[in-house]
Amino acid sequence: MMAQANGHAQTQGHEHGHDGHHDQEELRQFGFWIFLITDVILFGTLFATFIVLRGNTAGGPGPELFELGGIIASTFILLTSSFTSGLAVLAMNRGNKQGLIGWLIVTALLGLSFIYLEVTEFTKLVHEGANMGTSAFWSAFYTLVGTHGLHVSVGLVWMTALIIQLARRGITPVTKRKVNIVSLYWHFLDVVWIFVFTIVYLMGVM
């Protein structure tokens, strides 16, 4: 058999977990970072598409339909939810299960109101005669902003599932990893939104 150095299971603590096995939770968190890279590319492609097509309104309505008031409100809601998800992680690191669940609920509620505002905005735009098929500009708009909204919605379902798991099992290495990952995801969506806000809305109305 191979050269097996004496007691490497004990000496390789940084590479291997307690019993010579890899630390699964650490691996999963690392894997999620790589998934986020792929999501960056995904949004990057959508942003590129939007930028290429942003002038192509084909004689129809354009960004003048945007109403910045609601957008600024939803921006602050999403930024706040990123902050509260951070508070949830802090509570978790202190071992405070109630605080963790509480802050996650606040985060999810803020996310829900963000989605509500987005759906309202979309409905209003459609009533004003700008739907996905109106022109390339609106196709790119709905796809980019909608993909972000879809991500947030998936995050909401995920967070709800996690809250139930936390209530049942408490803070364990597994649930801890899950909270860390979901909060990473949430911050990531926040960063993407900053770009949506700047490139789609601010540059649209400027």
Partner 1 sequence: MLEKIKSFASEFFVTGDPLILGAQVSIGLTMVALVITLTYFKKWGWLWREWLTTVDHKRIGIMYVIAALLMLFRGGVDALLMRTQLAMPNMQFLTPEHYNQIFTTHGVIMILFMAMPLMFGLFNIVVPLQIGARDVAFPFLNSLSFWLFFWGAMLFNVSFVIGGSPDAGWLAYPPLSGKMFSPGVGQDFYNWGIQISGIGSLMTGINFIVTILKMRAPGMKLMKMPMFSWSVLASSATIIFAFPILTVTLALLMLDRTFGTHFFTLDGGGNPMMYINLIWMWGHPEVYIVILPAFGIFSEIVATFSKKKLFGYKSMVFALMSISVASFFTWVHHFFTMGSGANVNAFFAVTTMVIAIPTGVKVFNWLFTMFRGRISFETPMLWTIGFIVTFVAGGLTGVMLSVAPADFQLHNSYFLIAHFHQVLIGGVAFGYFAGLYYWWPKVFGFKLNEKIGKWAFWTWNIGFYLTFMPQYLVGLDGMTRRVSTYGWDTGWFGLNLTSTIGAFIMGLGFLFQVWQIAHSVKFMQRDTTGDPWNGRTLEWSIPSPAPLYNFAVVPRADEQDPWWEEKKRREQGLPPAPAQPYEPIHMPKNSPIAFIKSFCWFVAGFGFVWGWYWMAIPGLIGVGVCMLVHSFTYDNEYYIPVDEIKRTEAALRGTV
Binding site for partner 1 (CB under 8 A): 1-6, 8-9, 12, 15-16, 19-22, 26-28, 30-31, 34-35, 37-39, 41-42, 45-46, 49, 52-53, 56-58, 132-137, 139-140, 142-143, 157-158, 161-162, 165, 169, 174
Closer CB to partner 1, 8 or 94, in the complex = 8
DSSP codes, 90-128? HHHHTT-HHHHHHHHHHHHHHHHHHHHHHHHHHHHHHHT
Closer CB to partner 1, 20 or 129, in the complex = 20
Closer CB to partner 1, 15 or 76, in the complex = 15
CA dist., res. 201 & res. 206, Å (int) = 9
Query: Measured from the CB of residue 41, what is the shortest distance to partner 1 in angstroms?
Result: 4
With CA atoms as reference, report the closest residue to 149 among 57, 70, 43.
43
CA dist., res. 162 & res. 150, Å (int) = 18
Query: Measured from the CB of residue 49, what is the shortest distance to partner 1 in angstroms?
Result: 7
C-alpha 189 chain-centroid distance: 3
Closer CB to partner 1, 132 or 202, in the complex = 132
Query: Measured from the CB of residue 72, what is the shortest distance to partner 1 in angstroms?
Result: 28
Query: Measured from the CB of residue 80, what is the shortest distance to partner 1 in angstroms?
Result: 26
- Taking a C-beta distance cutoff of 8 angstroms, is the pair 205, 63 a contact? yes
